[in-house]
Structure 1
Amino acid sequence: MRDFTAVVNPTAGGSTGAAAPPAAVRLLREAGARVDTEYSTGLAHARELAREAGRRGRVVLAVGGDGITGAVGGALSGTGALFGIVPAGRGNDFARALGLPRDPAALANGLLHAGPRAVDTIEVESAVHHRTVVLGSVYAGVDALANRHANRARLLTGPASYYAGGLRAVTTWRPAGYRVTVDGVPRTHRGYTVVAANSPYYGSGRMIAPGARVDDGELEIVMIRHAPRRLFFALMNDLASGTHVRRPEVCVLRGREVRIEADREVPYGADGEVEAVLPVTARVLPGALRVVG
């Protein structure tokens, strides 16, 4: 029987305060597993809790959305500790990329019995992130601005908050001039965003990088060029199915490392959190995280 430490974001999904544990956590306890619960006060605290639990040989669960999932999983990257996700946030995009079941009983069964799976992580370096590790994607441009608006939304949740944030961001966005260097090869790009993706999904189920895989040792780099706003809104709708990559305004590359720079101050985010501005470097860490579920 595995022992678990659940690192919980008490405000996941827009709630406030320490909520009741999700059904999957209750089912783990009912099955006889020992589950300790630790409530984080922020992402830095979540990383500390995760590292300590991992050192004690416990399976570390991220309970919340993509922010805490990226923080906890990133903290365990390269340590050999076992990691699991109990989705309880607005986006839950990395859980979606892993194909985790939505049914709590099936999720609990996987956490108890499934063998570990090696997945890739992303090392992020910048003036702010001297070195940190995330799981899903690093994105620089209008989507980072949209995500900032979504995180600050009070009346909307889930996909609605991301769509409203996107509308607000696009109305004020002006194209940025990017320099994107993939595995040492530079190129220029002018437009809306550059995304370095380990997962196909971001922004609550939007398929930004349909060819990305969490275990292939590469990043998929998606660049959306400047286009009229009406076309950009059409591109946003295409994200539901990933068909935007067929449009001539979208360029898709693959590589192990990408450096993103811009000719003005452009925000970037990672795993649902926006904390900094370009430049940033993202590189894949193949098979660095052991996931159960």
Structure 2
Amino acid sequence: MRQFTAIVNPTAGAATGAAALLRVGKLLREAGAELETVYSRSLAHAQDLARQAGQRGRVVLAVGGDGIAGGIGGALSGSGTVFGLVPAGRGNDFARALELPGEPAALARVLLRHEPRPVDTIEVHSPGRPRTVVLGSVYAGVDALANRHANRARLLRGAASYYAGGLRAVATWRPAGYRITVDGAEHRHRGYTVVAANSPYYGSGRMIAPGARVDDGVLDVVLIAAAPRRLFFALMNELKSGGHLARPQVRVLRGREIRIEADRPVPYGADGEVDAVLPVTARVLPGALRMLY
């Protein structure tokens, strides 16, 4: 029977995370599994706790949203530790890509009975910053700015915070000139964003890269070109279904290593966390993480 260590960040969605874990944890224990719960002080502390649990041979569970999922999953990339998710955040986009069930009993069955499968991770490099590894996507442009606004929202939760953050970001955004290098081939682009996606979803269920797969060994690179704001808002609406790919302003490339540069300071983020500016290099690490899904 599996031994689980669940990691909860008490400063980010503590009530939601604790409630989600309580429901699933009860079922895990009733099935005979061992479950310990630890509380982190920060994302870096959560990563340290995850590494320590993995070294003890335990299955590590990230309880929360994409930030803690990506942070812990990145820390365990390449370690052989088995990793699982208890989705309890605003977006839960990587859990959505894995098609994890939201109902506690179904999720408990996945964690107890499914065999771990390899998924890709993304190694992220930026000048003057330590190497990091994330799970879902790296995005540079108006979406990074929108996510920064959403993270700072106090009165809104879930998709509403992302929508409000998007409105605020688009209202002030000036298209940037990008240089994107995909597996050595250079592409020029002027527009709103560049997204290197391992997962189809970001921004609380928006299907930015419908063709992206977590286990195919490549990243889908989505480029959204400059357009009138009214057209851009229509395009953003189409992210719910993936219909934006039919727009001439949208281009998709695929590759293993992507470098993104811009002609002015442009923010970029990864897995819901935004605190850096371009340039950035994202490289896929095929099958580097063992996950339960």
For normalisation by structure 2, the TM-score amounts to 0.97
Partners in 1 of 2:280 and 2:24 — Cα distance? 37
Residue identity in the other structure for 2:47: R
Residue identity in the other structure for 1:82: V
Partners in 1 of 2:105 and 2:191 — Cα distance? 44
Quick check: 17-26 or 232-241, which moved more? 17-26
1:244 — aligned with what?
244
**Distance change in 2, residues 1:239/1:190 (3 Å):** same
Partners in 2 of 1:205 and 1:182 — Cα distance? 26
1:199-278 aligned within 5 A: 199-278=199-278
- Secondary structure of 1:187's partner? strand
Quick check: 167-176 or 120-129, which moved more? 120-129
Q: Residues 119 and 288 of structure 1 are in contact (CA less than 8 Å); yes or no, is this contact kept in structure 2?
A: yes
1:121 — aligned with what?
121
1:1-293 aligned within 5 A: 1-13=1-13, 15=14, 19-20=18-19, 21-293=21-293
- The structural deviation recorded for 1:169 is 0.3
Partners in 2 of 1:134 and 1:90 — Cα distance? 18
Q: Deviations over 1:152-202 (max 9, x none)?
A: 111111111100000000001101111100000111111100000000000
- Secondary structure of 2:190's partner? strand
**Distance change in 2, residues 1:128/1:137 (3 Å):** farther
Q: Residues 8 and 37 of structure 1 are in contact (CA less than 8 Å); yes or no, is this contact kept in structure 2?
A: yes
Q: Residues 62 and 84 of structure 2 are in contact (CA less than 8 Å); yes or no, is this contact kept in structure 1?
A: yes
- Secondary structure of 2:143's partner? helix
Q: Residues 122 and 282 of structure 2 are in contact (CA less than 8 Å); yes or no, is this contact kept in structure 1?
A: yes
Residue identity in the other structure for 1:238: E
Structure 1 gap ranges (5+): none
Residue identity in the other structure for 1:123: E
Q: Residues 11 and 17 of structure 1 are in contact (CA less than 8 Å); yes or no, is this contact kept in structure 2?
A: no
Q: Deviations over 1:59-94 (max 9, x none)?
A: 000000000000111111101110000000000000
- The structural deviation recorded for 1:128 is 4.9
Q: Residues 17 and 64 of structure 2 are in contact (CA less than 8 Å); yes or no, is this contact kept in structure 1?
A: no
Quick check: 22-31 or 279-288, which moved more? 22-31
Partners in 1 of 2:265 and 2:44 — Cα distance? 25
Q: Residues 199 and 209 of structure 1 are in contact (CA less than 8 Å); yes or no, is this contact kept in structure 2?
A: yes
Q: Residues 128 and 276 of structure 1 are in contact (CA less than 8 Å); yes or no, is this contact kept in structure 2?
A: no
Runs of 4+ in structure 1 over 4 Å off? 15-18
- The structural deviation recorded for 1:26 is 2.4
- The structural deviation recorded for 1:33 is 1.4
Partners in 1 of 2:74 and 2:192 — Cα distance? 27
- The structural deviation recorded for 1:18 is 8.1
Q: Residues 122 and 285 of structure 1 are in contact (CA less than 8 Å); yes or no, is this contact kept in structure 2?
A: yes
- Secondary structure of 1:208's partner? coil
Partners in 2 of 1:220 and 1:17 — Cα distance? 32
Q: How many residue pairs end up in the alignment?
A: 292
Partners in 1 of 2:235 and 2:151 — Cα distance? 22
**Distance change in 2, residues 1:235/1:18 (3 Å):** closer
Residue identity in the other structure for 2:115: G
- The structural deviation recorded for 1:275 is 1.3
Partners in 2 of 1:284 and 1:18 — Cα distance? 29
For normalisation by structure 1, the TM-score amounts to 0.97
Identity of aligned residues (%): 76
Partners in 2 of 1:29 and 1:46 — Cα distance? 23
Partners in 2 of 1:60 and 1:259 — Cα distance? 31
Residue identity in the other structure for 1:139: Y
